[in-house]
Amino acid sequence: MPKKSNTFEYAPAPESRSIVDIKASYGLFIDGEFVDGRGSSFKTINPATEETLAEIAEASDADVDLAVKAARRAFRGWSRMSGKERAKYLFRIARIIQERGRELAVLESIDNGKPIKESRDVDVPIVAAHFFYYAGWADKLEHAGLGANPQPLGVAGQVIPWNFPLLMLAWKIAPALACGNTVVLKPAETTPLTALLFAEICQQADLPPGVVNIVTGAGSTGQAIVSHPDVDKVAFTGSTDVGKAIARAVAGTDKKVTLELGGKAANIVFDDAAIDQAVEGIVNGIFFNQGHVCCAGSRLLVQESIADELLTKLKRRMGTLRVGDPLDKNTDIGAINSAEQLARIRELTGIGDAEGADRWSPACDLPSAGFWFAPTIFTGVTQAHRIAREEIFGPVLSVLTFRTPAEAVEKANNTPYGLSAGVWTEKGSRILHMASELRAGVVWANTFNKFDPASPFGGYKESGYGREGGRQGLAAYLKGASL
Ligand code: NAD
């Protein structure tokens, strides 16, 4: 008998896409202008419909070289400009992002597949906040505790993933510019459009040519950026495998590197936690952004005595999640970003079945076109299961149980990653104890997936090195600075 969905019936509430003007094709943004690439091109598609959105230039090695040369020329003036003047540009960019927030949010949802309520209420506001925050530091660098006369590194080569296209751009560009560096940034091949709109915003803000260069392309373009001899700093966010390849590519050079890589976070619920709040936190931890979140709470560790009650409530709540059109304001879970990512989620969840874990998803009608995956939990999972160890990067939660705090710590830390963790308990002392024991860059207490530009973010072990955000994020873009 088909399962009955718990979702309320709502009339469709689609956000209009008339606010965005997607061109048929895009060039590269080099030295303040859009120019034709010398390489080939590729298509970016809407993952919710598979409709082709635009033809995108694939930057060749020669294009990357032009962009690095433009950034080098611009570095001279930008690095010598007073921090107060640089701040004016960053504040201007931040304000334009707010003014064009709706346009950016709609474009992000179309190109990425994430629900409009997230791009509108989470991504874009944090992007603007990041530019405001680092604009504030630009004229105060000597007070950041990073030396008396902090100096920029030079040209930063920055490569970002597709899960938070505009937010990752902001995490990279805002601190780099505040410190007086210039940048060559490559967005991911499946989500180039908001980076190209950001290039327009740089023009609108009268940013001096060459301070920001956006080159589009896939892995080989990224490789050309990180291995370019005139790039002084490499900043990468993406998979651990590519991060390792980049670490090898820059080994033996004097390039400074930060790597923000994958994760397999434990979200730990103790028996004294407020269960209904914990259920919301679990849902937010793994189903936010379709689970395409490096710090997603993808391993639920629940104390055995409350496991049955919590799972019953969690399943009931999952039954109310609305999967579908990313532009519908009622949508909770949008489209999977690409056919490749969907195939990877299917492969890993198939392995979960084959290894004997129990799969459960609520009833939900998935659209026929596009890339979709229903929210899913696996119970009966042990630490030996691959779904408990590997990053699935989709809306899939693996549930494990524990009896004592020590067992929770041991299981939580039993991973090659160390990006984030969550702790749910009413005891403050337990929160402090767990935070000191967990090997994770961020530990959230009675909440999950909260981001603030003033708070540093980054990982241990195979989750990478370096910190982005906060005063710590400045250190990655200044000579001789470390925290
Ligand atoms: P990916 O590593 O495949 O790609 C990331 C970027 O690197 C893309 O722009 C890609 O074109 C480029 N790239 C690919 N090969 C390259 C190479 N050899 N040299 C240089 N650049 C290359 O990752 P993805 O699939 O786009 O993103 C998902 C991964 O990113 C997940 O593992 C996720 O955990 C991680 N991530 C981490 C954070 C963080 O802050 N730690 C944030 C978001 C995503």
* CATH number reported for the structural domain that contains residue 233 in this entry: 3.40.605.10
Query: Does residue 162 lie in a domain region?
Result: yes
C-beta of 162 in contact with ligand 1 (< 6 A): yes
Distance (angstroms) between ligand 1 centre and the Cα of 222 equals: 10
The per-residue pLDDT string of the chain (483 residues; one tens digit each, 9 = 90 and over) reads: 445 556 667 899 999 999 999 999 999 999 999 999 998 999 999 999 999 999 999 999 999 999 999 999 999 999 999 999 999 999 999 999 999 999 999 999 999 999 999 999 999 999 999 999 999 999 999 999 999 999 999 999 999 999 999 999 999 999 999 999 999 999 999 999 999 999 999 999 999 999 999 999 999 999 999 999 999 999 999 999 999 999 999 999 999 999 999 999 999 999 999 999 999 999 999 999 999 999 999 999 999 999 999 999 999 999 999 999 999 999 999 999 999 999 999 999 999 999 999 999 999 889 999 999 999 999 999 999 999 999 999 999 999 999 999 999 999 999 999 999 999 999 999 999 999 999 999 999 999 999 999 999 999 888 988 899 999 999 999 998 776
178, 214: one domain? yes
243, 329: one domain? no
Ligand 1 atom closest to Cα of 463? Answer: 41
**Could you count the other beta carbons within 10 Å of the beta carbon of residue 35?**
15
Residues 6 or more apart from 107 whose CB is under 8 A from it?
Answer: 20, 22, 193, 194, 197
Q: Indicate which residue's Cα is closest to atom 21 of ligand 1.
A: 222
| CB 261, CB 464: distance < 8 Å | yes
Q: What is the pLDDT of residue 9?
A: 79
Q: What is the pLDDT of residue 2?
A: 46
CA atoms of 104 and 106, how far apart (whole Å): 6
Q: What is the pLDDT of residue 1?
A: 41
Residues 6 or more apart from 365 whose CB is under 8 A from it?
Answer: 5
398, 314: one domain? yes
298, 236: one domain? no
Query: Does residue 180 lie in a domain region?
Result: yes
| CB 221, CB 215: distance < 8 Å | yes
**Could you count the other beta carbons within 10 Å of the beta carbon of residue 470?**
19
Q: How many domains does the chain have?
A: 2
Question: Tokens 């084959």 — which residue?
Answer: 354
Distances from the Cα of 249 to the Cαs of 105, 242, 243, 253, 254, in angstroms? 35, 10, 10, 9, 12
Q: Indicate which residue's Cα is closest to atom 19 of ligand 1.
A: 223
66, 172: one domain? yes
C-alpha count within 13 angstroms, C-beta hemisphere, residue 159 = 27
pTM: 0.96
User: Which of 216, 255, 294, 451 should be mutated for ligand 1, with most atoms under 8 A from CB?
Assistant: 294
Q: What is the pLDDT of residue 221?
A: 98
C-beta of 223 in contact with ligand 1 (< 6 A): yes
User: Which of 58, 242, 259, 289 should be mutated for ligand 1, with most atoms under 8 A from CB?
Assistant: 242
Please name which of 42, 37, 36, 77 lies closest in space to residue 56, comparing C-alpha atoms: 42
Q: Residue 288 sits in which domain range?
A: 266-445
CA atoms of 449 and 319, how far apart (whole Å): 21
377, 440: one domain? yes
The secondary element (H helix, E strand) that includes residue 41 is: strand 41-45
C-alpha count within 13 angstroms, C-beta hemisphere, residue 111 = 34
Q: Which of 15, 58, 179, 294 is catalytic?
A: 294
Distance (angstroms) between ligand 1 centre and the Cα of 9 equals: 38
Question: Is 202 tagged catalytic?
Answer: no
42, 92: one domain? yes
**Residue 340 sits in a domain of what CATH number?**
3.40.309.10
48, 172: one domain? yes
225, 290: one domain? no
Ligand 1 atom closest to Cα of 245? Answer: 18
Q: Indicate which residue's Cα is closest to atom 31 of ligand 1.
A: 239
399, 467: one domain? no
295, 148: one domain? no
- Sheet containing strand 52-57, strands side by side: 25-26, 52-57, 41-45
Q: What is the pLDDT of residue 203?
A: 98
Amino acid at 152: P
Query: Does residue 455 lie in a domain region?
Result: no
C-beta of 419 in contact with ligand 1 (< 6 A): yes
C-beta of 192 in contact with ligand 1 (< 6 A): no
Per the structure block, which two tokens stand in for 402? 């524990």
Q: What is the pLDDT of residue 227?
A: 96
Amino acid at 396: V
C-beta of 390 in contact with ligand 1 (< 6 A): no
224, 275: one domain? no
User: Which of 163, 248, 472 should be mutated for ligand 1, with most atoms under 8 A from CB?
Assistant: 163
Burial environment of residue 447 by CB neighbours within 10 A (0 to 12, 13 to 18, 19 or more): middle
| CB 177, CB 184: distance < 8 Å | no
Q: Indicate which residue's Cα is closest to atom 43 of ligand 1.
A: 294
C-beta of 238 in contact with ligand 1 (< 6 A): yes
